[in-house]
Structure 1
């Protein structure tokens, strides 16, 4: 049932305040010494009214912005200060068939607002049309929604702009990404003060920084922190959008992540991470907004200039192009919308200090009217921008639109989430047939996708799990999704997860099942950290975190998603930290260029071996049921006065145990154990090696195993038995 509220008289003006023309740039609310400049873009509006509220968000007073320069409405209000609450009412035609949805009865958020106060209260008044009207001929809604809307806050960020940013400047190939949720990471941490749990301050607390530093990651990637709203269908189910992929404010941090009343808390968090030599990357959602489809609420862009801000169906402009699956698609092809995105990105870099971005559904941003184009306007704007071309740029290289899957097709400035890596490593360790060639390509850095136009292995963001899907623990504990808590009868989320439960679905106390699950988690983590490319670790995977089999927990703002700091597998944490130390210790694991056949002995190189200690022959790569493999990685001489080094990785993805013969490489001495997933200590492994010696072919590094007819020489080596689904890592020096 709708409630009618009185609307402020549009003819009322602020008393004792002087309105002057002001300037069209910068857009948004800009504080000056004697007032505030307001500027708002709308190409199709007939009138723009600035609404000023008291400190409680009440007592609305209005000023009409009469100046218009190149479709930007602007005015300077003398006497207004930082902290003032405001919004807009925008007049124009309500003609959905022509793409126009103006409704001056709706208070609208400034797209450039840098802080929001209050939340969005569900109410019929938030819709620009009468809810029970005919969908093909929507009725204009005259109910005022101001009582139910958050208010924009005028921010003076001059002090933040002047504050130095001490960036770690970690090379991309040496970056180790930790994907985390602001609230979920700290809300249950008993070592974080109660008043900052689940906030930016909690994420940057002493205990959190200490944990991440000891783990060894050097980059934290945060799920969306831009202001976002809950979708109406979630509220009906008494759920909420936990992940935050429903942005409404591209400059304003989500209010619930602030422990206080100032956005400087975000910058303080970034500075704290930088002091710990940890970079900060933001997951950003510029592909759609929280206003949803044609029947969604009018909150900001829709009411300011629907035809400019959104991509509409050309022959029926009531409808939105929905390449995102979220109801609408932001129109990044429009120059003013593109400017909004670019201004937002620069703000988070120059003022808030972040080090890069991960672009959600990035194919939407690269799609011109004729389809995806690596040379589109958005990518060109990024590549030439003197600020943004220097930060880390990561694409989620797909959307649901036509031709949306574009893995490997992004410009050189981008790295990309590599889902082919994810799926291959899951299938290999699950024991699927015919996986050896694909495993080798992904482990090598996916050069088949990325080695073109000067791109390097760091173009591949390798991951086993992410926020979207099973956690690592659940990947080896559940055969099927268990998403009933989402209220969609378990129909949502990925159907095929390439997972395995090893005999029991979910939790068990069977020691044999627990052992193999433990090994599989360690196998996958080890593979991730040893592969060429940039590893991304999902927060909680190193602790054994479970989401109870929910593989689409976007709406679970509760203990399903929150990290349980009381029940951590500390042995897995220590194992992961050791893996990260190994990755940092051996530069060959994060090489700047793709490594191919070594041209000289002891040059950087990969050599693949069978479990018999012999170089892989061409026919062995095509053995359908083969699930064992070994690889030797070698590095050049490391200054000062260091010898060439080699790493040997033995992999057994079969369910049965197999004997491995360690390769003999001319010039390298005895292999020393580094990592194993059988949880043996190094002394036991060395003893096992000494107990067994066999004859094996010798291969020099410059003799690569490509010629099946080459006659090798032989020498004495060692052999080891690897349990089913386990691995071992060794190193040796020349």
Structure 2
């Protein structure tokens, strides 16, 4: 059915002059004399800006935008200033069967709002249709939703950046720390209680000191763009914790502000930059929080449903490549423009250093599925601002052909879940573990070594927010998500975890020792692998979520990092891993290693070794039970200029104790996961004993090598 019903009340126009204004920039822009409003809608018949009192409770004016340039409606309101609360009402056909769901009774968020205040109060009035009607979403609801909606704010985004400069860390030097603004700080004893859970708390001195100590060079923050709590979660007494239900792509999340000001986010970024730490944002442009056809009308659905979303058939239903009920339509030029404008805003105005794109395959879909040269990916790659920042893809969605690991073009990095799974399987003792681990140690070249992509393209991780923490990975054989209210049906089942005979916490010294060793082996493997390492916040402190591997709704001590039992010795171990990676650049190279020689007389850039010193045979690699092997790493033969970086020999043993034959020459042991606090050992050569379930890293003894060179030259100088 089609309807052009009027709003809930007569127009309440103020006496303010509404001039034509201009069609750019989109959103609400203060120009010193007033505010210019510009809104895209291709199918609307009228667009109104509604002004509210400062507390957002009362609508005081409803102003129709008088001009339309193409599909952009605009107008200038003289005398308005930053701080003005506003929302939108958009008129047009209500005909869900053809994709149109206009309903001017519903107050809408401006997609370009720089600040959003107030909570979303769940009510049936938020729905464009009558809940419970036999016609379902084909019915029409005439109730005003303004009382239940957050309000947009005309924001002043000016900020004194001083001498702030982006750290621009080389990817070879990058260590990513995935963190949640609220979860990182809520239980930290060193953070001011008034700043816990906020941007300012996240960048407080105790946090920066901790991250600097670990050797972190970039924090990757779970979504900080404005989001809301799902209705079904509030009914269970839970909240959206992770933040993957974005409502405003330009507005910082209000719950992370202590003073309700945009500058708090900017101050956080400036503090991190002063410490040499980059800020990366986990962004969710693949869907919105409006859900499917039975979801609320909060923003895009009411502004121009047919343009903003991917629709099926005639248009009533939504393509759902994201598992959330809808997928944004980046094939539409104005939706693509919104995403690009948002990304540039966070770089140019908020000074962030890069992005991790949630369900990035959905962003690159075209008529025939995933397209490596999609409009979105091409737009990013040519953009003079965005092409210079770090771009990380989560290379999958839930749609057909959505798993695209290794298929994103340069300069994208990609989350590598095969690294996660293969490292876990190897240390658990699964069959064929050595052959799979070998690929991951080399940066997953079989996936990424194409199109000139560097070896740092693989973002390697053992744990992330979605799954077990490191402590739980070695303490639980099964997930325990009962607190989520879904009868433990949610979350991954294939965790490749191990509990060492006890499900959950244990006071048994033997069990604890085995778990601690496994944690060290897992993280050591991460830092010894080619690629870009990412660690999960709290893993260095032994944080547990009680076996919950899907804490998306646990905005409580389950989801927060527990610092009360912080393990200083383990944090020191993580810091030593990062320092070892910095000291020996061959552990983080831009070019892949293939066992090639730079020139005929040079040794190969990579040598695989069995414990007896011989090169592995095909039978070794194909053996399901081969568990001990090493690799001798030199600088890649593909590197343009050889710098003579020092060799590193790493040996991985997921089996029993073995006698180890070292490569020729003198070596010093720099890392032993069985003795993590041991200082570098004396110079050794020949044979060594390799403990069970452990890793050792040897480096060339430079003093011994220099002495040998002098002796060969006939000098003692």
**TM-score w.r.t. length of structure 1:** 0.92
Following TM superposition, by how much is the alpha carbon of 1:643 offset from its aligned partner in structure 2, in angstroms?
Answer: 6.4
Following TM superposition, by how much is the alpha carbon of 1:164 offset from its aligned partner in structure 2, in angstroms?
Answer: 5.7
2:673 paired with 1:677: yes
Number of the residue aligned with 1:386: 384
Retained in 2: the 8 A contact 1:483–1:550? yes
Aligned pairs for 1:106-117 (under 5 A) are: 106-117=106-117
Determine the C-alpha separation between the residues in 2 that align with 1:163 and 1:71.
39
Number of the residue aligned with 1:459: 457
Number of the residue aligned with 1:730: 698
Following TM superposition, by how much is the alpha carbon of 1:9 offset from its aligned partner in structure 2, in angstroms?
Answer: 3.7
SS in 2 for 1:549: coil
Number of the residue aligned with 2:219: 220
Determine the C-alpha separation between the residues in 2 that align with 1:361 and 1:684.
43
Number of the residue aligned with 1:488: 486
Determine the C-alpha separation between the residues in 1 that align with 2:52 and 2:668.
70
Number of the residue aligned with 1:699: none
Number of the residue aligned with 1:719: 688
SS in 2 for 1:645: coil
Retained in 1: the 8 A contact 2:107–2:298? yes
Retained in 2: the 8 A contact 1:602–1:636? no
Retained in 1: the 8 A contact 2:369–2:401? yes
Determine the C-alpha separation between the residues in 2 that align with 1:420 and 1:494.
15
Retained in 1: the 8 A contact 2:605–2:636? no
Determine the C-alpha separation between the residues in 2 that align with 1:403 and 1:168.
37
Determine the C-alpha separation between the residues in 2 that align with 1:561 and 1:149.
27
Following TM superposition, by how much is the alpha carbon of 1:82 offset from its aligned partner in structure 2, in angstroms?
Answer: 0.5
Determine the C-alpha separation between the residues in 1 that align with 2:402 and 2:122.
33
Retained in 2: the 8 A contact 1:636–1:644? no
Determine the C-alpha separation between the residues in 2 that align with 1:392 and 1:135.
47
Retained in 1: the 8 A contact 2:21–2:36? yes
Number of the residue aligned with 1:230: 229
2:328 paired with 1:330: yes
Number of the residue aligned with 2:78: 78
Number of the residue aligned with 1:181: 180
Determine the C-alpha separation between the residues in 2 that align with 1:135 and 1:35.
44
2:17 paired with 1:18: yes
Retained in 1: the 8 A contact 2:157–2:262? no
CA, structure 1 residues 634+9, in 2 after alignment: closer, same or farther (shift >3 Å)? same
268-277 or 134-143: which moved more? 134-143
Retained in 2: the 8 A contact 1:636–1:645? no
2:588 paired with 1:590: yes
375-384 or 130-139: which moved more? 130-139
Determine the C-alpha separation between the residues in 1 that align with 2:679 and 2:291.
61
Determine the C-alpha separation between the residues in 1 that align with 2:372 and 2:546.
40
Determine the C-alpha separation between the residues in 2 that align with 1:684 and 1:13.
77
Retained in 1: the 8 A contact 2:119–2:150? yes
Number of the residue aligned with 1:66: 66
Retained in 1: the 8 A contact 2:320–2:326? yes
Number of the residue aligned with 2:96: 96
Following TM superposition, by how much is the alpha carbon of 1:682 offset from its aligned partner in structure 2, in angstroms?
Answer: 4.2
Aligned pairs for 1:346-365 (under 5 A) are: 346-365=344-363
Following TM superposition, by how much is the alpha carbon of 1:664 offset from its aligned partner in structure 2, in angstroms?
Answer: 2.6
Number of the residue aligned with 2:713: none
SS in 2 for 1:555: coil
Retained in 2: the 8 A contact 1:673–1:682? no
Following TM superposition, by how much is the alpha carbon of 1:647 offset from its aligned partner in structure 2, in angstroms?
Answer: 1.3
CA, structure 1 residues 7+94, in 2 after alignment: closer, same or farther (shift >3 Å)? closer
SS in 2 for 1:132: coil
Following TM superposition, by how much is the alpha carbon of 1:7 offset from its aligned partner in structure 2, in angstroms?
Answer: 7.2
Q: Deviations over 1:287-311 (max 9, x none)?
A: 0111111100000110001111110
57-66 or 629-638: which moved more? 629-638
SS in 2 for 1:465: coil
Q: Deviations over 1:27-79 (max 9, x none)?
A: 00011111000000011111111100111113311111121111111000000
Retained in 1: the 8 A contact 2:669–2:680? no
Aligned pairs for 1:249-328 (under 5 A) are: 249-315=248-314, 317-328=315-326
SS in 1 for 2:280: strand
Total equivalences in the alignment: 692
Number of the residue aligned with 1:447: 445
Determine the C-alpha separation between the residues in 1 that align with 2:404 and 2:358.
13
2:624 paired with 1:620: no
Determine the C-alpha separation between the residues in 1 that align with 2:199 and 2:296.
29
Following TM superposition, by how much is the alpha carbon of 1:721 offset from its aligned partner in structure 2, in angstroms?
Answer: 3.4
507-516 or 394-403: which moved more? 507-516
Q: Deviations over 1:195-248 (max 9, x none)?
A: 111100000001110110111110000000000011111111111110000101
Retained in 1: the 8 A contact 2:246–2:289? yes
Retained in 2: the 8 A contact 1:602–1:635? no
Number of the residue aligned with 2:577: 579
Number of the residue aligned with 2:469: 471
Number of the residue aligned with 2:714: none
Determine the C-alpha separation between the residues in 2 that align with 1:350 and 1:395.
21
Q: Deviations over 1:344-382 (max 9, x none)?
A: 000000000000000000000000021100011001111
Retained in 2: the 8 A contact 1:101–1:303? yes
Number of the residue aligned with 2:429: 431
Q: CA RMSD in A?
A: 2.0
SS in 1 for 2:396: coil
SS in 1 for 2:552: helix
Determine the C-alpha separation between the residues in 1 that align with 2:698 and 2:135.
67
Number of the residue aligned with 1:650: 651
SS in 1 for 2:317: coil
Q: Deviations over 1:300-353 (max 9, x none)?
A: 1100011111101124x2211000000100111100000000000000000000
CA, structure 1 residues 531+683, in 2 after alignment: closer, same or farther (shift >3 Å)? closer
Following TM superposition, by how much is the alpha carbon of 1:650 offset from its aligned partner in structure 2, in angstroms?
Answer: 1.6
Number of the residue aligned with 1:710: none
SS in 2 for 1:573: helix
Retained in 1: the 8 A contact 2:593–2:636? no
CA, structure 1 residues 84+629, in 2 after alignment: closer, same or farther (shift >3 Å)? same
Retained in 2: the 8 A contact 1:532–1:589? yes
**TM-score w.r.t. length of structure 2:** 0.94
SS in 1 for 2:686: strand
Following TM superposition, by how much is the alpha carbon of 1:618 offset from its aligned partner in structure 2, in angstroms?
Answer: 2.5
126-135 or 30-39: which moved more? 126-135
Retained in 1: the 8 A contact 2:129–2:137? no
SS in 2 for 1:517: helix
Determine the C-alpha separation between the residues in 2 that align with 1:163 and 1:346.
20
Determine the C-alpha separation between the residues in 1 that align with 2:636 and 2:490.
49
Determine the C-alpha separation between the residues in 2 that align with 1:602 and 1:493.
50
SS in 1 for 2:659: strand
SS in 1 for 2:76: strand
Determine the C-alpha separation between the residues in 1 that align with 2:642 and 2:115.
55
Structure 1 stretches lacking a partner, 5+ long: 1-5, 691-715
Determine the C-alpha separation between the residues in 1 that align with 2:186 and 2:273.
22
Q: Deviations over 1:602-649 (max 9, x none)?
A: 6672211111122222322112211111111124999x9996522121
Number of the residue aligned with 1:192: 191
SS in 1 for 2:543: coil
Determine the C-alpha separation between the residues in 2 that align with 1:641 and 1:293.
56
Following TM superposition, by how much is the alpha carbon of 1:727 offset from its aligned partner in structure 2, in angstroms?
Answer: 1.3
Determine the C-alpha separation between the residues in 2 that align with 1:135 and 1:219.
51
Retained in 2: the 8 A contact 1:124–1:131? yes
SS in 1 for 2:616: coil
